[in-house]
Amino acid sequence: MFLSRKVLLLCLFLASLTLSTEAKNATLQEAYFAGGCFWGVEYYLESQKGVKSVESGFMGGFKKDPTYREVVYTDTGHIETVKVMYDEKLTNFEALAKIFFEIHDFTQVGGQGPDIGERYESIVFYNSESEKKVSEKLIDKLTKKGYDVATKLRQSSMFYPAETYHQDYYVKHRKVPYCHVYKKIFD
């Protein structure tokens, strides 16, 4: 009994060291983008180097834990948004923000493609002043290129995941986005 207790304690100790090392090496960051229907934004961002996961959901509203039906048919104030988890050792916020601008029509006011309404607006939900400054810099570059940028910048707030059937929608249905197309804009 004594020997197995020692072995158990040793195993617990080694496990705690491993967890501590993993925690120190954790470089995951999160970013939030709203660019119309979240299915298309998710589709393009999840294929980027360094992106670990993309989750479709809602942000920016006042209703706690909204459902898709509530967001679509009532006034919850939420915007279809994606949460991007990325490894900052492999990519960064600016690279992801550039892709975000390159996959949707950031000049369209009040929606995206055929999806019209506040819940489909183009918004970068920033987590820090650094992310806000990067977004402002990219919008300034686009403006200097002659674009009339409609994308808004807002402080991130509580993110609510959409229902399971919305996650990885295009992958599950073997389709491609209907209102998102990649177009190289940045050098």
As annotated, the active-site residues are 37
| Best CA proximity match to 150, nearest among 161, 159, 141, 139 | 139
Alpha-carbon span 56 to 60, nearest angstrom: 14
